[in-house]
């Protein structure tokens, strides 16, 4: 069984992959100070609730955009899960997608892994929209390469900034409103954020399609993808587990190459 770990800026996801099937996954807040032992206590208890012992894990792979978290996550795999993990971005790990942009070294591991999964599952060219800490719009060109994209503030980051910057505005949850025009403060904030993001999605996708010269499909991923995809016809596919599918693909490719 493969342990796949995606350490993002806000949350870290741990997933158990049995063959190619995602068996279960768990999230915790990303904290570089958390030790390998702390990870192990938390994760092994959750695995036990699912009837899985840590000995069932035979390999592991990590993708992270938080370099400070890598040391302890690597230590977790070494000490508790049968040896050193495969780490996306390490020179020994061969990527199955090329970044044909000005500075390929700047592309986050999560964006590349998500892009290669989307390409393999949905074909190319296409656009991948990932609703994470940042909302990213990534392009896979007709040759299957990562060809650049857009980075916008994430939905929860926008809500937090609004709450912190305006003394009289409360903290609100993300949710669609039945109408754009609201008659009180909380629905007005929810409308502005939700329908504002729909406008962002539709506007950027429309402009990106125009630059690409074709009506390419759009795949949405991330926890909030279903909420936004249901409010616009610019999103053609929803796949919340793209990055984990990409980590499985990458692991299998490198295992066969070795």
Residues labelled as active-site residues: 110
Q: How many Cα neighbours within 13 Å face the side chain of 1?
A: 19
Yes or no: say if 109 and 124 are a contact pair by the CB < 8 Å rule.
Answer: no
Q: Is position 211 annotated in a ligand binding site?
A: no
Q: Is position 68 annotated in a ligand binding site?
A: no
Q: Is position 225 annotated in a ligand binding site?
A: no
Q: Is position 185 annotated in a ligand binding site?
A: yes
Q: Is position 12 annotated in a ligand binding site?
A: yes
Q: Is position 20 annotated in a ligand binding site?
A: no
Yes or no: say if 129 and 221 are a contact pair by the CB < 8 Å rule.
Answer: yes
Q: Is position 114 annotated in a ligand binding site?
A: no
Q: Is position 206 annotated in a ligand binding site?
A: no
Q: Is position 13 annotated in a ligand binding site?
A: yes
Q: Is position 133 annotated in a ligand binding site?
A: yes
Q: Is position 8 annotated in a ligand binding site?
A: yes
Q: Is position 109 annotated in a ligand binding site?
A: yes
* CA 163 to each of CA 11, 145, 169, 220, 224: distance values in angstroms, whole numbers, following the listed order: 21, 39, 6, 27, 20
Residues tagged in the binding site annotation: 6-13, 108-111, 130, 133, 185
User: Can you say which residues are annotated as belonging to the binding site for substrate?
Assistant: 108-111, 185
Binding residues for ATP: 6-13, 133
Residue stretches of the annotated binding site for K(+): 130
């Amino acid at each position: 069984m493969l342990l796949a770990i995606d350490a993002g800026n806000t949350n870290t996801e741990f997933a158990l992959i049995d063959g190619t099937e995602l068996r279960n996954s768990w999230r915790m807040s990303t904290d570089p100070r958390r030790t390998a032992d702390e990870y192990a206590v938390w994760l092994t208890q959750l695995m036990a609730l699912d009837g899985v012992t840590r000995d069932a894990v035979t390999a592991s792979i990590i993708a992270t955009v938080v370099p400070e978290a890598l040391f302890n996550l690597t230590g977790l795999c070494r000490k508790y899960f049968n040896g050193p993990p495969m780490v996306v971005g390490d020179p020994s790990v061969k990527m199955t997608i090329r970044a044909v942009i000005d500075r390929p070294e700047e592309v986050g591991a999560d964006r590349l892994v998500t892009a290669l999964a989307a390409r393999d599952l949905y074909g190319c060219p296409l656009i991948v929209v990932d609703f994470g800490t940042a909302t990213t719009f990534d392009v896979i060109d007709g040759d299957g390469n990562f060809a650049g994209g857009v980075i916008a503030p994430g939905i929860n980051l926008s809500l937090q900034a609004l709450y912190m910057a305006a003394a009289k505005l409360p903290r609100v949850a993300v949710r669609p409103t039945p109408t754009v025009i609201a008659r009180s403060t909380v629905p007005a904030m929810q409308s502005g954020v939700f329908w504002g993001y729909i406008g962002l999605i539709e506007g950027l996708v429309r402009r990106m399609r125009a630059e690409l010269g074709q009506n390419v499909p759009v795949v949405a991923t991330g926890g909030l993808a279903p909420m936004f995809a249901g409010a616009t016809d610019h999103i053609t596919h929803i796949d919340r587990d793209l990055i984990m599918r990409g980590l499985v693909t990458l692991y299998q490719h490198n295992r066969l190459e070795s």
